[in-house]
Amino acid sequence: MKKLQMIFNAKMLSLLALLAVSVNLFGNTQKGKTTKPNILWLICEDISPYLSFYGDSTAKTPNLDQLAKESLVFTNCFTTVGVCAPSRATLITGMYPTSVGTHHMRTAIDAMGWGRRKYRRVNSKKAVDIKKDTIGEYATVLPEYVKCFSEYLRAEGYYCTNNYKTDYNFAAPVTAWDENSTDASWEDCPEEKPFFSVFTDLITHESQMWTRRRYPMTVNPDSVPVPPYFPDDSIIRNDIARHYSNIEVLDERIGKKIQALKDQGLYDNTIIFFFSDNGGPLPRGKRETLETGLHVPFTVRFPKGVNAGKVEELVSFVDFAPTVLSLAGIKPPKHLQGQVFLGEFRSLNTRSYVYGSGDRFDEYTDKIRVVRDKRYLYIRNYYPELPRYKDVGYRKKMPMMKQLLKLRNEGKLSDNTALWFQTNKPKEELYDCIADPGNLNNLIEDSHYAEKVNELRSALDNWIVEVGDMGSIPEATMIEQMWPGNIQPQTAQTDISISNKEISLSCSTKGSSIAYILSDRMIRPDLDSGWQLYFEPIELEKTKYLYVMANRIGYADSKVSETLLLKIGQKIKIGSQLKDKK
């Protein structure tokens, strides 16, 4: 009992130390106001913890190494889905993909940026073929209470930018970001505001395995580690070396971002997150619900490197949104499903489990749910009759994927490699991720682990009920529910009310957000930039033109209200109607 009490006290001291760091670092005041921290997300694509501060020094990454020395290095961080679009939907909403309908891999035309918000109708009303998905493009309609969490930051005075990938399974509403483009940066932030800036670097993305094939490699193929589930030949080694070489380029780019912060005097007033959106790009990594698909690197640097060190607690991507709000001193809304792990509203209870899912990956559909504690990974396969390997066309551009398929067809794969190509899979799997990081030895039938299996089964069952898992709904049916008649619903036009030299805006569409632009002259507003988030009445100053639009996530934008000439004592023109101002 005494030993348990000592362990508990040590955990509490650690939690309180982290809490003190994130609450007090920015407690200085200016003109009686608390200075809020800047927050920067440096996101890379498709890497597992293949970095020196996780024990893999193959790639030389001096900039990331230095950042890690000054950071909290989270050793147990996991995405919710091992591929980008559902993963990014989690990050921006603070909701599990399976609970809001964003669990399939890419649904929309808006794959990269926030524009192109006109979606085609879904081509088929038929139920999804579980073996091959024929679903057309659509935007996920989120529950009315779900917003991009950056809206909460904007409402509290943050200048929010995204450069440039969104890929949320819905088009980012104009209310989500002050600036969202390839040019978006903290550098345009007004001096009086703190910023939240997101940068995504594509250099380590899966596609760079073949598009950069003519670039010189900085990592020698003879020096790379070859996982036990791959054959050891020159083609495999070359692709592994290409990935590590891309990581070295990423390091250079991260170094330039950090230097820019330093040059502008912002480095020690900025909290820096570094992480990957999902696991590594090699076959049997990305898209998998194994360790290789879900486990990602993650570091958080506080100014002056305060409290840097390893953190072993479990963290999920669903925790990021409420944690950023907490770091900004904003109490997270109750509907967010993540757990705050830093900041003013940090939970004093650490996670026991993280959860993941796998549904449609590009043209192939399955249904898999997973739960992991600090050591064991439990997998539930709802369609054991389907193969583990999904013959996704996109990744067959990779030389080593072609080589694996060639060896499979020739019957030359080792047992470890052949596991991935089994024509079916067990209903349940259990892996010891410390003793077996490659997840090759399924312990589900070993009686020594019966208690652990029952524990994780129960945890997964409870989570599925708690989040309202939508995975049992065929995708075509889900689309019909979101888009009746397979036609995208549209947000109602904004109502404008003027009284006492103030404008109030409202929209009858439940869950909608409203954006506006004020201008001294008549303009043709860009539908993708310049919009301010409306959250309180606007005070009239002199003569201005007002442009208004509204959006609910997954709906088409409302029509932009035509120019409204604001001049006290004059008539106000709204579209083709004339109204006397009273």
For the chain, the distance separating the N- and C-terminal CA atoms, rounded to the nearest angstrom, is 74
Label residues 257-292 b or e (16+ Cβ within 10 Å = b).
Answer: bbeebeeeebbebbbbbbbbbbbbbbbbbbbbbbbb
Token code pair at residue 44:
């890379």
Q: Which conformational region is residue 84 in: left (phi greater than 0), alpha (psi within -120 to 50 degrees), or beta?
A: alpha
Q: What residues have CB less than 8 Å from 358, skipping those under 6 apart? A: 81, 82, 287, 288, 289, 366, 367, 368, 369, 370
Q: Structure tokens of 228? A: 């036990």
Which has the closest alpha carbon to 174: 562, 560, 492?
560
What sections of 374-432 are H helices per DSSP? Answer: 399-409, 415-418
Dist. CA 564–CA 24, nearest whole Å: 45
Are 338 and 316 in contact, with CB atoms under 8 Å apart? yes
- Look up 84 and say whether it is catalytic: yes
Cα 207–chain centre separation = 19
Query: Residue 107: what are its φ and ψ, rounded to 5°?
Result: -120, -15
Among 150, 120, 192, 182, smallest CA distance to 531 is for: 150
Residue 436 token pair: 């077996």
Which of 77, 84, 160, 507 does the annotation list as catalytic? 84
Kindly report the CA angle at 179 between 177 and 185, in degrees rounded to 5? 115
Dihedral pair phi/psi, residue 332, rounded to 5°: -65, 140
Residue 43 and residue 280 in contact, taking contact as beta carbons nearer than 8 Å = no
The β-bridge relationship of strands 195-201 and 38-44 is parallel
Placement of tokens 């290789």 in the chain: 292
As a 3-state breakdown, the chain gives helix, strand, coil percent values, each rounded to 5, of: 30, 20, 50
Report the C-alpha gap between 349 and 391 in whole angstroms: 41
Q: Catalytic residues, which ones?
A: 84
